[in-house]
Amino acid sequence: MHDWIIKYWLEALFGAIAALFGGAFHRIRKKQNIQATEQSAVKEGILALLHDRIYQEYAECSRKEYASVDDIKNLEYLYKPYHVLGGNGTGTELFERVKRMPTQPPKKAEA
């Protein structure tokens, strides 16, 4: 009788323990995949917001026909994380265009 308990109950016990660990691993892995998907979406959202702000800053400076030192500094604060997060060449091109603009307003031609 003792042999039967040892032979079958220990197998059942170890089987149950293995099933519990397997289930826990599955739940943890599923949660990790969901978090990775959410993290990717957050990154893409932040990139989109940074790109939009860079574009808006470029449009404003183009309208004014110059970029003040403060405009350029503000744009640098936006561009650095945009670039680190893998922003595309469009944001880089707009940033470079603003940096090449004059830093003073254009002088109005006298009539």
pLDDT greater than 60 at residue 51:
yes
When pLDDT is cut at 50, 70 and 90, the band that residue 81 belongs to is: very high
Total number of domains in the chain: 1
φ/ψ (deg, to 5) at 68: -70, 165
Q: Determine, yes or no, domain membership for 4.
A: no
Residues 47-76, mean pLDDT to the nearest whole number = 95
Q: Determine, yes or no, domain membership for 35.
A: no
Q: Determine, yes or no, domain membership for 19.
A: no
Domain holding 60, by residue range, is 41-104
pTM: 0.74
pLDDT greater than 60 at residue 49:
yes
Q: How far is CA 104 from CA 25, 62, 71, 73, in A?
A: 61, 13, 11, 15
